[in-house]
């Protein structure tokens, strides 16, 4: 298995463990590829962080970790960056349609996560966060008559160590 350089160390260890019982029957390249693809997708799943008591979204490709709460998306670098760690809060200040604020934020909005997607369900609208290798995206949908939809975000609390 010379492909270790092309897959994450965690995935390589898991593949080796899965392959152990198959010693005589080495897993095919397709099986290994399927396992790697599955692990790659799961790396971006949103899960509950027991220590911080909130949902978190790791993003290996961007070296970020986001902590998701209604109104606030906190972004940290995921691993140590040689003494250059940071933290930033993106605070949702409201949803605007054609320049008018139509929805404010609710601190008690319901959170629902599935795989790499988080829905924050407010009374009048739903925020959708999608965590992928390309980054963390925020999506809101507008009324059918809306020409321009804006999500106003404020970057607050930047901390660089």
Can you give the pLDDT at residue 22? 54
Question: What pLDDT does 156 receive?
Answer: 92
Q: What tens-digit pLDDT sequence spans the chain (161 residues)?
A: 444 446 667 667 777 766 665 555 666 777 777 777 776 667 788 888 899 888 888 888 888 888 887 778 888 887 766 667 888 998 888 888 888 888 777 778 888 888 889 888 877 777 788 888 887 777 666 667 888 888 888 999 887 77
Residue 7 confidence (pLDDT) = 67
What is the Cα–Cα distance from 74 to 136, expressed in whole angstroms? 11
* Predicted local confidence at residue 2, as pLDDT: 47
Distance CA 52, CA 54 (A): 6
Q: Which of 83, 99, 93, 103 is nearest to 161 (CA)?
A: 83
Spans of all domains in the chain: 2-42, 47-160
The pTM of the full predicted model, rounded to 2 decimals, is 0.63
């Amino acid at each position: 298995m010379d492909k270790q350089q092309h897959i994450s160390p965690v995935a390589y260890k898991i593949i080796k463990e899965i392959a152990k019982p198959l010693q005589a029957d080495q897993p095919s390249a397709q099986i290994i590829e399927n396992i790697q693809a599955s692990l790659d997708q799961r790396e971006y799943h949103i899960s509950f962080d027991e220590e911080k008591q909130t949902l978190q979204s790791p993003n290996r490709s961007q070296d970020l970790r986001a902590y998701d709460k209604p109104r606030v998306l906190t972004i940290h670098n995921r691993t140590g960056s040689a003494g250059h760690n940071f933290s930033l809060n993106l605070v949702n200040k409201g949803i605007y349609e054609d320049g008018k604020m139509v929805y404010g934020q609710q601190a008690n909005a319901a959170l629902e996560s599935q795989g790499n997607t988080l829905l924050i369900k407010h009374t009048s609208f739903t925020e959708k966060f999608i965590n992928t290798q390309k980054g963390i995206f925020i999506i809101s949908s507008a009324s059918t008559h809306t020409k321009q939809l804006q999500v106003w975000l404020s970057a607050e609390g930047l901390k660089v160590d």
